[in-house]
Amino acid sequence: MARVCSSVVVPRVSEGSPRREFRLLVVQRAARGRFSPLIPYWAQLPGWQVRSAAGPAAMRLPAAAMRPHAVLVDTDPGTAARVLRDFPEAHQVLHVDERTDPADAAGFDAVVCSSWWQRDRHPEVLRSRIDVIHEGIAVAPFHPAGNVRSRAGRPLCRGEPVLSVLMEDWADPDDARALAGALEWVLRARTDCRVLVIGRPLPSVSGSAADLARIDLVDDPGEGRRGALLALSRVHLHPGRSSQSALESMAYGCATVAPGHAPAREVLRDGVSGRLAATASAAALGDAAIGLLDDPATAERYGREARADVARDYDVATAARRYARLLHGPLDDEENLPWSALPCRESVAAYSLHQ
């Protein structure tokens, strides 16, 4: 069932400014930060002027420069405090995650985070102030990955029993041990399965030389090619600790298997768009992966449902509109927005927690 959290506050627009003129400053940790995909949408809104800054140096604006009506902040606590000090007249919105100190949000007019599981890890004093708006993720069309070959020189193609792993997700040592055991389990059970490891090398995996020869490493493929590699796989193994990277595999049509941690539960529907293992054990993950490798029709259906879920519930344009309401208040003539034909235009809070 969807959970809705909304605390939209109309920002203070300075006297003498037309209501349709709206100036937004976005302060991020990097030039290509969390909100970069949303900025082009905001820039199309009538009367909106949008400026992005990455860190304090980029915020040294001349006296005649834009004074924002609203500031959206996703940065370190020191820079966030400076925003509070330098733009007191603006409507100030802070993005937080599960690690944010509640004290850092004091003084901001509004607080937002990407996921319900992140919101739920904060004390009630902050949790009650947080709007949950995921920033969206694009559902890209399938593109060929290029010349991807196994160690034996055989090309890897979509539709074959390929299991993928994105190694940057498996940073926790306990997760890495469970992954190694799960892969041993799968390789023993399915002698035709290949494992596609994207990124850094795997932890130590034991097995016969023939088994280990079926593990192929693609080191640092680049962001664009990484998605095409994910799209090759029938099954994707995920540690379940990041909803964002789980959404990435879903967006490329992977049947994703993950432990039932809160981030995975929020985006994966067990038995509909993926499989949630009861525990983070090697046996549970291995059995779930083997079940989908043995049943390609179900794996294909899970992948289609996963892509549809991302397109419906995590659409970038929908996220841009929800953020625009939080920053600006009600938008003028919403039906005629340049990007108003949205997949879930009537669903203000489509960011569901599937439990």
Span 302-332, pLDDT tens digits: 999 999 999 989 989 989 999 999 999 887 6
d(CA 20, CA 166): 45
Residue 251 has pLDDT above 60, yes or no: yes
Residue 98 has pLDDT above 80, yes or no: yes
Tens digits of residue pLDDT in 164-223: 999 989 988 899 889 999 999 999 999 999 999 888 777 777 767 777 888 888 876 666
**What pLDDT shows up at residue 2?**
39
Three-class SS of residue 336? Answer: helix
Cβ 163 vs Cβ 234: under 8 Å: yes
Pinpoint the alpha helices (H) of the chain. Answer: 39-43, 77-86, 116-119, 124-127, 173-189, 209-212, 223-230, 243-251, 262-267, 282-293, 296-313, 316-328
**What pLDDT shows up at residue 333?**
65
Collect all residues with Cβ–Cβ distance below 8 Å to 61 and sequence separation of at least 6. none
Residue 70 has pLDDT above 50, yes or no: yes
Q: Which helix (H) or strand (E) holds 295?
A: none
d(CA 201, CA 236): 16
**What pLDDT shows up at residue 205?**
76
Residue 9 has pLDDT above 50, yes or no: no
Q: In the predicted model, what is the mean pLDDT of residues 126-140?
A: 89
Q: In the predicted model, what is the mean pLDDT of residues 320-349?
A: 65
Hey, how many other C-beta atoms are within 10 angstroms of the C-beta on 289?
28
Q: What pairs with residue 23 in β-bridges?
A: 49
Return the percentage of the chain with pLDDT > 90, whole number. 56
With 0-12 / 13-18 / 19 or more C-beta atoms within 10 angstroms meaning exposed / middle / buried, residue 96 is buried
**What pLDDT shows up at residue 303?**
94
The more confident residue out of 321 and 146 is: 321
Q: Strand 194-198 and strand 162-166: pairing?
A: parallel
Return the percentage of the chain with pLDDT > 70, whole number. 79
Joined together, the tokens standing for residue 203 give 């932890």
Residue 239 has pLDDT above 90, yes or no: yes
Residue 269 has pLDDT above 90, yes or no: yes
Cα–Cα distance list, 140 to 148, 224, 228, 273, 327 (Å): 20, 10, 9, 17, 28
User: Dihedral, CA atoms, 260, 135, 115, 183, nearest 10 degrees?
Assistant: 20
Confidence class for position 15, pLDDT limits 50, 70, 90:
very low
**What pLDDT shows up at residue 56?**
57
The more confident residue out of 140 and 263 is: 263
**Closest-CA residue to 189 (of 211, 218, 205):** 211
d(CA 296, CA 159): 8
d(CA 34, CA 52): 11
Three-class SS of residue 88? Answer: coil
The more confident residue out of 230 and 4 is: 230
